[in-house]
Structure 1
Amino acid sequence: MTEATTPLPVDQEPLLSADPLEPLPLLRRELHTGPSGLSAREAGRRLAVYGPNEVRRKARTSLGRELVRQLVHPLALLLWAAAAPAFVTGIPVWRADWRPGDPTGTGSPLHHAYITATTATFAGIVTCQVGTAFAARTDHAALRDIGLFTNPLLLAGIAFELAFTAALVYAPPLQGLFGTAALPLDVVALIATLPVLVWGTDELRRWVRRTHPLTKP
């Protein structure tokens, strides 16, 4: 004996919270089906409501365009920004003709270059924090919209941080205490660009979010 089912009106949604442990006749009734499957009317209704049961495929992009998209992805931009400090802090040991495996301990010819490189790393971290402090002031708006000098406490903290870093790098008593060395002026000039690089990377990310907002289905 075939169990009869009552099809739903076209504008009525099927019940999607059916309990699979319910008795089979009740479960079929809640899912609007029967032993032989959906009726033609119910299948047509679901096709009209949900569309065809197929995977939607996106149009393929060219390899070159996909490569460019990956290179300018926000995470990729952060990696590019992180590569700059690594390059800058390696300048002192590269000038000293350092090679992987060369000794850099106390008394070695490369020890001073090693101390200079670690000092450049420390200064690079500090200046990157300055760029992060400006970038963290806003998550969506441009920094020019909220003002560069509108947070005096932040500016005071940055000024103290930079002054203390300069003392650690250039004051002889602190050099011996903290194991730092004076940085060459060209290295200082490169390190001074890192805050702009870090802030600019995040500013670019916010610009992309403002001009290309994600659309919700």
Structure 2
Amino acid sequence: MTQKTAVIIGVGPERGVGAQLCHRFAKLGLHVFIAGRTLAKVEAVAQTIRDQGGLATAIEADTTDEQAVIALFEAAKAIGPVSLSIFNAGNNMPGDFLTMEASYFERCWRIACFGGFLFSREALRAMVPNGEGTLLMTGASASMRGKPNFAAFSSAKGGLRNMMQSLAREFGPKGIHVAHVVIDGAVDGDRIRIGRPEVAKAYGEDRLVDIEGIVDVYQHLYQQPRRAWSLEVDVRSSVEEF
């Protein structure tokens, strides 16, 4: 039996969306290639998966580095056909517009939009010859609208969303399911609980978005039959205003 692989980039802390996606798809039998900018973090996630009997390989990769992204998919293809690719890069990057450095705006775009292009191109190059596969992209409320102090982030995430729509229409007929997940709210994970506990306290338990619920959505998209594909799903807590 051919070993299918999954490539997930934008993996950070153990209790984060990226890491939990890796755990879930490893449990579904995929060999997960875990990519992120910090090797120690992705290796820790990979080791936990291996300790639990799953298949995982950690690779240090910056999504804005073309050669690194190409090498990431070459490594995955060497193990087996790429069945799933998830682009989860691009953290929230607010900023005052009048004082914003051009380099800051460009960096935001390079991570969330240009990086999405590089990742998607290599994912599709890997999956199209097989006539099947799933490409999922993580979005945010900034993908849908621009709020004050979020001009850079909104332009980058909005560009990623528009690119995703183009890819879905171009590659759906070729057997590739391309979909976008809008995470509208603060995720109940390490970045908030440990990195910004004051935000977690201010939000309260009910307003933080449940990680397991988010991962359920990605799994559902991956398992959707060809005659019932979703283009976009948004996820938020019941008390989030939108």
Asked if TM exceeds 0.5, the reply is: no
Which of the pair is proportionally richer in helix?
Answer: 1
Whose strand fraction is larger, Structure 1's or Structure 2's? 2
Name the TM-score, length of structure 2 as normaliser.
Answer: 0.19
Q: Structure 1 length normalisation: TM-score?
A: 0.21
Which entry has the higher C-alpha Rg, 1 or 2? 1
